[in-house]
Amino acid sequence: MTDIQRWQITISIIALLVGLAGGGAMGALITWYATSRRGRIQPVGHKIDIVPVMKQKNDASLRTKVIVSRGDKEYTFKNLFLVNVEVVDKGNQDIQEFRFGITLGGADLIVHHDYQAPDRHHSIAYSLASPEEPKPELDYVLTPFNRQDIYSFKLYVVIPEGEDEPNLITLSSPHPIKFTSMPTWKELIVEKIEITNIGVGPVRLLIKR
């Protein structure tokens, strides 16, 4: 193909695009793209951090327990973990009322929970869990769940004797969304330790362990 032929093809393509734009086809294409983008499955970011509060070892010579007082009653736990859950609206739409649930694995149970909304104009409705009535799952309703809104939850979880840590924790929702994992604080700290960036003047040394 000669250079002249290439130029003729290029000019023809440009003329076609200009004609489409003038005829409204380009506007229809842009509208279709915007509509499909709004209608895509919305991503909801989440991260789960697990912190041991009391972890009883089977071969420990010293037996310890956590005592939780509730009114005039006391409850003791040998293996208690604090599970921090955070959800973020990563999509391009605001959700007026977002429903989702947290489900524990195995025989793990939630004995207490707390939450934090972004501000006083955001509210959280929830199911109950307590030492008297521990639950393997909790349901929440976030109102509203706008773009980039962050809601935080603290779950106090007990696990059966003989197990080292909580089983897999899953999030689910009836909405057309997809939960996407975000790095936890532990993962960010490990990454920071593993990658060291040293700079001396114009020279930079990157050490990756």
| 93 domain-assigned | yes
Query: Domain check: are 16 and 50 in the same one?
Result: no
Question: What is the extent of the structural domain holding 28?
Answer: 3-38
Query: Domain check: are 87 and 160 in the same one?
Result: yes
Alpha carbons 56 and 39: distance in angstroms, whole number: 49
CATH number of the domain enclosing 118: 2.60.40.290
Note whether 166 and 109 are within 8 A (CB).
no
Alpha carbons 48 and 62: distance in angstroms, whole number: 30
Would the pLDDT of 125 be above 80? yes
Mean predicted confidence (pLDDT) in 10-16:
62
| pLDDT of amino acid 101 | 98
CA 188 to each of CA 49, 184, 192, 193: distance values in angstroms, whole numbers, following the listed order: 11, 6, 6, 9
Query: Domain check: are 15 and 67 in the same one?
Result: no
Would the pLDDT of 26 be above 80? no
pLDDT tens digit string along 57-107?
A: 655 555 567 777 777 888 888 889 999 999 999 999 999 999 999 999 999
Query: Domain check: are 49 and 98 in the same one?
Result: yes
Alpha carbons 111 and 126: distance in angstroms, whole number: 14
DSSP string, 161-195: TT--S----EEE-SSSEEEEE---HHHHHHHHHHE
